[in-house]
Structure 1
Amino acid sequence: MLRKFAVLALAPLFACGSTDAPHTETDGASSTGDGSTSETSGEPAYRATIRRTSFGIAHIQADDLGSALFGQAYAFAQDHVCTLADQIVKVRSERAKYFGRGSGDAFLTSDFAYLALEVGPRAQRMWDAAPAEVKTAIEGYAAGYNQYLRDTPPGQLPADCAGAPWVKEIDALDLARYYVDLGLLGSSNQLAGYIGTAQPPGSPLQLPGGPLAGLGTLTSGGFGSNGWALGAEKTTSGGGMVVANPHFPWTGELKLWESHVTVPGQLNIYGVGLMGVPGVLIGFNDEVAWTHTFSSGTRFTFYKLTLDPDDPTAYLYDGASRPMTAKTFEAEVAGEGKVSRTMWYSHYGPMLNVDPIGWSGDLALTYRDANIDNPRLIEQFLGMDRATSLDGFKQVFKTVQGIPWVNTMAADKHGDAWYADASATGQITEAAIAGWQAAIESDFLTGLLYQQGGLVVLDGSDSSYEWQDSGDARAPGLVPFSAMPQLGRRDFVLNANDSYWLANPAAPLEGFSPLHGAERAPQSPRTRVNAMLLQNEAPFVAAGEDGTFSLAEIQAAIQGNHSLTAELVLDALLARCDAQHVIEVAGSVVDLRTICQLLGAWDRRFDPDSVGAVLFREYLAAYGPDSVLDRGSLFNVPFDVDDPVHTPHTLIAPAAGQVDGALVALGEAVVNLRTAGVPLSAPLKQLQRAPRGSVEIGVHGGFAKEGIANVVGYNGGLNSTLLPKVGRPPAIDGTAGLTERGYVINYGSSFVMAVEMLPDGPRGEAFLTYSQSEDPRSPHFRDQTELFSQKQWRPLLFREADIAADPNLHETVVEGR
């Protein structure tokens, strides 16, 4: 029987994520944080009901939007209070204040970077421009977070921030600062180390900048994802279907948190959001479901400045000298007091310090950011959440134009599917595009940065490379929504972080600016396997004989772990093993017969119990990351623009009289595994481990080169949190990231959702791979990680009857001001 409780005697228990402890009912009380109560004076400004179901999922109900998001923030803080507190310190430029300068002045550099980006004034402009409803949402969210802090003694917070002086109440402008930063995730957010250290030659302060190699992930943010939206022609039910599979970090501020928010007659939204953000980023309501993937387009353009020979703080622009702007900022450093630093700007934006380019006497780099002034981020998300049809959903994109850095795939219960890359993008002329593309071939720096990740470097001395204003975009100089890639279908649309080009391979999208992404270019193995799965092509016949997907079939498809790369090369590799039984590697003779028998018996999947997956992974370690994109060291048949899903393919043959490089690579894999003490017959779950606190859980999934939809891996640099992260020992030379602890996993598939839109409402299943709470004391700290490891989906409880029937249901009423 459901028990109802008023808030506040419960808060210390919920602080560690528990929904199972016994509570006593209270009435009209406000907690002092120690379990006692004190009378609340006057009527509360906010009142919400939080219902926790199995796995700690929070369902929030309230009579108005502000109260609903008050309740959402309160529930979020129960699971992730430390994470948001850490980020608020960052965007307030207070890291050095609480933690000192940091190694190599890292914390102080971060503070000055956020000061240089003028996050505070931009947040104020965001607030001033926000509609009343958005202000209500942000104010309610801030109040809910603050109420949780009032209700929870500092010493009872999770260990990561218990008693910490930097955990403080916040206001709406603090959240607005944070939302400015989130809007910059594909651009300035990742350039902090380059911005905060930029000083002209001759300055007494000369600091190491950000590494040149680190710029390679800026166009993708280092993130991956799969997004599928299926229409009536591809679903057994005839309604739409959406599969969400974002690949994000498993620790830090870029995790996703799951909730269900209801305001009767106004809002009924389920899904996941970024830490500390009201509403839902990926999910569904009664009419529409959607997901996102990180766009491969560029959210900014670099500008190469030719400096005035007489003054390194001025640059040539259309033949005349143009002075930079200097602004001096102060940051507080623990034990030192105030420290000042002068930061420099071109008219495009902040100056950059890129090692080893630096800022010389004649050359410097600056950039312009398409999201630096995006006041509509929260308006965009809330508008999507409240859409009552797919047409209404699209209208939000057209009128708000607040999408910062993602592709969107959506479907409705009528069986319509839709794709758009509405990410903010600079608009330059055809002549400027042609000049930039010519410079890729003729200018070393322009060509190098393009090869590193599609980065765009324009000539900052020539006004013809300025962004162009068409008058109908969110901000001057941006591509308007009407000119962005979008596609409606009744079969399917997809994205796996390649460009918009093959959102549906039967209807390529072409003719858009290359700043949006590449057309008619090689696709990643993951994009190709996504398309093959949805097209129901052998050997990936996921939809059965009828060619349409049931919910169970689409779940099996996204979590099938079937390796496209193995399908393309393994038969030929095994045939060569039959022809040549031994290979010499580094002076050792390796007998390949038993090894190739093991690979021949492998199921060509990266499932938990797959034997042979580790050996094949280490075989691929001999090939570079680009080897899977075109003809080269791995494939013989090159990429064909007229058959992009099925090319390249076929294992390349050795040249006449040459040693077979494929067999050498296999022999090297064997030697490396034996040196590491790894049995060649080890199942994947024995080596591929995800740490959750003191427990390591064997998980399935593959790496990028393996051509698997379900990606997992390790990445140490995707988030900015100062909270504890998952570390790993050094990788063993020559391996695919194998360490003495195996393959350490801290990144990849996060919120995996499959939902079908039916006439009587949505139904679906999901799991949150790293679980709902970041507090190790919580029973929901690793419970869903165990589900993921076993491919056990859980139902999405959206209908009232399903929520009420949950055996672990607990209800709490929260109030506050």
Structure 2
Amino acid sequence: MKYFFAGCALLSVLVLNACQTAEPLPVKHGNPEILWDTWGVPHIVATHDSDAFYAFGWAQMRSHADLLLKLYAMARGRGAEYFGEDYLAADRSVRLLGIPALAERWYQQQEAGFKNNLVAFAAGINDFAQRHPEAVSDQVKAILPVTPQDIIAHTTRVMTIFVAAISECGAVLPGLNFNHQLAGSNGWALGAKFSSSGNTMLLANPHLSWHGMETLFETHILLPDVNLYGAALVGSPVLQIAFNDYLGWTHTVNPMDGCDLYRLRLAGDHLNEGYWLDGEVNAFEVSSEIILIRRDDGRMESEVLTIRRAAQGPVIEHAGEMLSIRLALLATQRLARMNQQWWEMGRATDLVRFQEILAGGHLPLFNVIYADVNKHILLAYNGIIPQRATGDTAFWRKPVIGDDSRLIWKDMHHYQDLPKAVNPHSGWLQNSNGAPWYMTLPILEKNQYPQNMTADVTNNRELQSLRMLASRSRMSFAELIAAKHSTHSLAADQLLDDLLSIAPASNDPLVHQAAAIWHQWDRQFLAESRGARLFSLWFEKWVEATIAKAIRANPDYVFTPDQLLGGLFYSQPFDSSEPLITPHGLADKPLALNALREAIAQLLAETGRLDITWGEVARLRRDGSDLPGNGADTDLGVFREIVYEPDADGKLKSSYGDSFIAVIEFSKPVRAQVLMTYGNATQPPFFETYNPLELAAKQQLRPAWRSRNEIEGNVKLREILSYDTPDTYENRTR
């Protein structure tokens, strides 16, 4: 449903009367405003924190009501009850890990002030749903009302999925996975000496799915003592990537290992006989839960889920083995204060205070990349990471024996123990999901840290990032924006010369035609680039053929993505001591040439042409928009990551990658250019907004409006929320 306003509309909203509780919120502070701009971004103007949280819950419902409520249902472990048996596997995993029970306990552990904020956020959600029932689909209304515990359960579930997905645990927890590939991200912090203006600059550039749990929501919160702009995953009560007038930070997913599997040795043929630990038989802790399942015909059935716990954690059967799962973020109390830590980070004004907050250790993963107005930059490899007494990463990436209690870790690494750099001599810090050693040049000394703290991995996108930064001595704000949009393919630089050197010997005229196209190609993945689609197809065929060759030689061979830069593929594999010049060259030239013939055949079958442009095939598609695409994926070494998947018409559609983008210069005043690539709402628009995909197609950003004057000049809808708060919502039942 659309609402059109000639000017600014005024909406007064009154809160519902709620059940009296023992923990009332403070008396009403004021009337928070939401000023919605022409890009669909809410600018929340409030007097007190709880007012802002209330308005933030309201705003998320206006833009993402159905998605938010669906995510909360899944965090309860009740997705199958509301949406059918497709959600049953996810419900089992959520119940197995005990996430709803943890949320109940952790809610009670919140500091009083932040507990009030969570209550206010839930109130904003519930009040919007009652005032605007037309904006909430019938399928999700049964999930209401939302409680503060739902908020904690949701953010816990999301972070559990992130941690499990980058470890071996993701493979054994059904339903806890990403929509597409693993989450990625780029992040740069440029120091004063590397900046043309002498001001520090920050690039925030998460790469996530354009759908579902990973959807981001761009928001501006203006309180008397903080001007905070950034983005949050839908359902989060706080901004998770943000900047204020003094500092800012972004996150990149790091290759930490926060989850381990233990192979249990059962004491007999039946689980009720227990398991061996330190030479003794231990009994499992056993509990059960009932999961309701909505069938296609509307009938409701139930399943009794029996949950067993060993000393290490909950138990699951996988591939014929009984495994116990130990997740660091669920095995400690640290995660209880995760949302409060993000809120406090947004209120910090200098590096000292910011690091004091980080030292709390409440964020379960993510590198923290930081810059501030005082000319400081920081990159901290961060997370809730176990202190393991023995073994390297390879040892812990496989299930370890479960009958030795010495392998059951209990303590976590402290912030001061983790790899980090502050104001490095290079003048810059970066991460694109590789190991922390590559955050700057020269690389960090990896031998100073435990061998099981992180996987020693990198990827072509990160190597391209290093090359772009190492090739310059300074960068301007405009040059940073241009670098962020770079579509140059490092893989083409690594491999194409070898491929072109063997093409003349072929007697296939189509191979010669392909070589002629590539000689003219600028090795970019721009919309107008001819040769890009042919190269991406060849790359896919080359990787597939190389893996198949390895399996023929060794049927037990298992490919993992970290091998992609190794000797199986490259004649000169990646060498961490030479990250700017390795890897390069084809390990098997005849195989590569045969892969080219296969790519040629497929491209001709699909399009009838070898010189088709990238934008003719790769399309930026969402909500009816269909524009020529640019950018490509990590393996091709393209910094501007947009991943495309096959669409019904045979073309490729954008599905993953660049989401929220922010380029910030910490001048006085701070200036920033931003874009939420896929737009800021999954609900039908409540007023017409500009189309961000049009800017994405042009590789452009837009100004971040942060002053009251800027905002007032671009308001599309104004809401003034009036509510009384003598009662809280925590006693409402679901």
TM-score normalized by the length of structure 2: 0.87
Deviates more, 1:47-56 or 1:285-294: 47-56
Q: Match of 1:8? A: none
**Equivalent position of 2:651 in the other structure:** 742
TM-superposed CA distance for 1:804, in Å, is 3.2
SS state of the match for residue 55, structure 1?
coil
* Alignment of 1:514 onto 2:446: no
Partner of 1:203: none
8 Å Cα contact 1:689-1:745 kept in structure 2 = yes
Aligned partners of 2:166 and 2:256 also within 8 Å: no
Greater Cα shift, 609-618 or 638-647:
638-647
Structure 1 match to 2:338: 377
1:464 corresponds to: 406
Partner of 1:496: 432
1:816 matches 2:723? yes
Q: Tell me, yes or no, if structure 1 residue 530 matches structure 2 residue 439.
A: no
Please report how far the alpha carbon of residue 110 of structure 1 lies from its aligned counterpart in structure 2 after TM superposition. 2.7
* C-alpha spacing 1:307/1:413, structure 2 compared with 1 (3 Å): same
After TM superposition, give the deviation of residue 708 of structure 1 in Å. Answer: 0.8
Residue in structure 2 matched with residue 735 of structure 1 by the alignment: none
Does 2:314 match 1:350? yes
1:346 is displaced (CA, Å) by 1.0
User: Which residue of structure 1 lines up, in the alignment, with residue 73 of structure 2?
Assistant: 89
Alignment-derived partner of residue 602 in structure 1? 521
Give distance in 2, aligned partners of 1:517 and 1:221: 20
Q: 1:383 to 1:238 in 2, by over 3 A?
A: same
Assess if the C-alpha contact under 8 Å between 1:52 and 1:809 holds in 2: yes
Q: Secondary structure at the match of 2:304?
A: strand
User: How far apart in 1 are the matches of 2:711 and 2:376?
Assistant: 28
Of 586, 607, 614, which residue of structure 2 is paired with 1:684?
614
Contact 1:182 1:189 in 2 (8 A): no
**Corresponding residue SS for 2:31:** strand
Compute the displacement of 1:365 (Å).
1.1
Check the 8 A contact 2:253/2:433 in 1, yes or no.
yes
Q: Please tell me the residue identity of whatever aligns with 1:668.
A: E
CA-CA distance at 1:797 after TM superposition: 1.1
Asked if the contact 1:287–1:761 (Cα under 8 Å) also holds between the matched residues in 2, the reply is no
CA deviations 1:605-639 (Å, max 9, x no partner) are 11111111001111111232566412233x22222
1:652-709 C-alpha deviation (Å, 9 max, x unpaired): 464xxxxx33322222211111122352222111111233134433321112221011
Q: For residue 56 of structure 1, give the secondary structure of its aligned residue in structure 2.
A: coil
C-alpha contact (below 8 Å) 1:85/1:166 kept by paired residues: no
Are the counterparts in 2 of residues 49 and 62 from structure 1 also a CA contact under 8 Å?
yes
1:432-482 alpha-carbon deviations (Å, 9 max, x no partner): 216x85xx5xxxxxxxxx7xxxx24322111221214xxxxxxxx211112
Question: Would the aligned equivalents of 1:116 and 1:343 in 2 still touch at CA under 8 Å?
Answer: yes
Measured in 1, the distance between the counterparts of 2:60 and 2:712 equals 21
Whether the 8 Å CA contact 2:169–2:260 is kept in 1: the answer is: no
Superposed CA deviations along residues 103-123 of structure 1, whole A, max 9, x for unmatched, are xxx433333332232223211
1:283-682 matches, within 5 Å, as 283-309=242-268, 311-313=270-272, 314-334=274-294, 335-354=299-318, 357-359=319-321, 364-372=322-330, 373=332, 374-398=335-359, 400-429=360-389, 432-433=390-391, 440=395, 455-468=397-410, 477-490=411-424, 491-510=427-446, 511-519=448-456, 523-536=458-471, 543=472, 547-577=473-503, 579-583=504-508, 590-624=509-543, 628-633=564-569, 635-652=570-587, 654=589, 660-682=590-612
- Secondary structure of residue in 2 paired with 1:111: helix
Letter of the structure 2 residue corresponding to residue 343 of structure 1: I
Residue of structure 2 equivalent to 1:198: none
Q: In structure 2, how many angstroms separate the alpha carbons of the residues matched to 1:162 and 1:780?
A: 24
For each residue in 1:372-427, what CA deviation from the matched residue of structure 2 results, as whole angstroms up to 9, or x when unmatched?
142011111111111111221111011x2111121110011122110111211111
Q: 1:70 offset after TM fit, Å? A: 0.9
Report the TM-score when normalising by structure 1: 0.79
Q: Which residue of 2 aligns with 1:787?
A: 695
Distance change >3 Å, CA 127–CA 388, structure 1 → 2: same
Aligned residues: 686
User: How far apart, CA to CA, are the structure 2 residues paired with 1:581 and 1:458?
Assistant: 51
- Partner-residue secondary structure (3-state), 1:493: strand
Q: Distance in 2 between matches of 1:53 and 1:237?
A: 30
Distance 2:414 2:563 in 1: 36
Secondary structure at the aligned position of 1:276 is classed as coil
Q: Deviations over 1:727-774 (max 9, x none)?
A: x56xxxxxxxxx75222321111111111111x132111211111111
Which protein, 1 or 2, shows the higher relative CO under an 8 Å CA cutoff with sep ≥ 6?
2
What per-residue deviation string (whole Å, max 9, x for no partner) do you get for residues 560-588 of structure 1?
111111112223322333x32534xxxxx
CA distance in 1, matches of 2:283, 2:27: 57
- 1:244 equivalent among 204, 209, 226: 204
The runs of 5 or more residues in structure 2 that have no matched partner are: 17-25, 544-560, 725-734
1-side partners of 2:164 and 2:488: how far apart?
A: 37
Stretch moving more, 88-97 or 163-172: 163-172
Tell me if structure 1 keeps the 8 A contact 2:44–2:55: yes
**1:87-236 equivalences in 2 (<5 Å):** 87-100=71-84, 102=85, 106-153=86-133, 156-157=134-135, 161-162=137-138, 164-187=140-163, 222-236=182-196
Residues in 2 aligned to 1:31 and 1:322: alpha-carbon distance in whole angstroms? 53
Secondary structure of 2:592 counterpart: helix
Structure 1 segments, 4+ long, off by >6 Å, are 189-195
Whole-angstrom distance in 2 between the partners of 1:745 and 1:234: 34
Instruction: Give 1:643's aligned amino acid.
Output: E
Counterpart-to-counterpart distance in 2, 1:764 and 1:596: 42
Identity of aligned residues (%): 24
Local SS of the residue matching 1:392: helix
Provide closer, same or farther for how the CA distance between residues 25 and 273 of structure 1 changes in structure 2, counting only shifts above 3 A.
closer
RMSD, aligned α-carbons? 2.8
> Is 1:270 aligned with 2:229?
yes
The letter for the 1-side match of 2:676 is L
Q: Deviations over 1:485-533 (max 9, x none)?
A: 11112411111111111111314142223333134x5x31111101111
- Equivalent residues of 2:93, 2:173 under 8 A apart: no
Distance in 2, Cα, partners of 1:229 & 1:271: 16
Pairing partner for 2:679 from 743, 759, 771: 771
User: How far off its partner does 1:782 sit?
Assistant: 7.5
2:391 counterpart SS class? helix
CA distance in structure 1 between the aligned counterparts of 2:303 and 2:563, rounded to whole angstroms: 48
Q: Partner amino acid for 2:317? A: N
Q: CA 1:25/1:417 → structure 2, altered by over 3 Å: closer, same or farther?
A: closer
Q: Secondary structure at the match of 2:262?
A: strand
